[in-house]
Amino acid sequence: MDNIQASLAKHSLTMNDLVKCTVMLADIKDWPAFNEVYTGYFAKNFPAHRAFATNGLALSTRVELECIGVLSR
């Protein structure tokens, strides 16, 4: 989450500019712990999001997160 926040900041965006996140978990039992951390990063409305359990995440990680943000012009 800190890495996503830092990447957004490079483009003058915040977590509130995210419109969609896809969460991939190595074990769906990790959802409550992940969600507790995830929700702490948003001051306003949450982006649309979905989560699912999968195997074969890169580098044997437990969580992979893909986010889409919007840059207003």
Specify the pLDDT at position 73.
Answer: 67
Give the right CATH number for 2-69 from 3.30.1330.40, 3.90.1150.10, 3.40.120.10, 3.40.50.740: 3.30.1330.40
- Average pLDDT of span 54-70: 94
66 — pLDDT class (breaks 50, 70, 90): very high
Per-residue model confidence as pLDDT tens digits over 27-47: 999 999 999 999 999 987 899
What does the domain layout of the chain look like in residue ranges? 2-69
pTM recorded for the entire structure: 0.84
72: tokens are 């207003």
- Select from 72, 57, 62 the least CA-distant residue to 14: 72
Q: CA-to-CA distance for 65 and 3, rounded, in angstroms?
A: 11
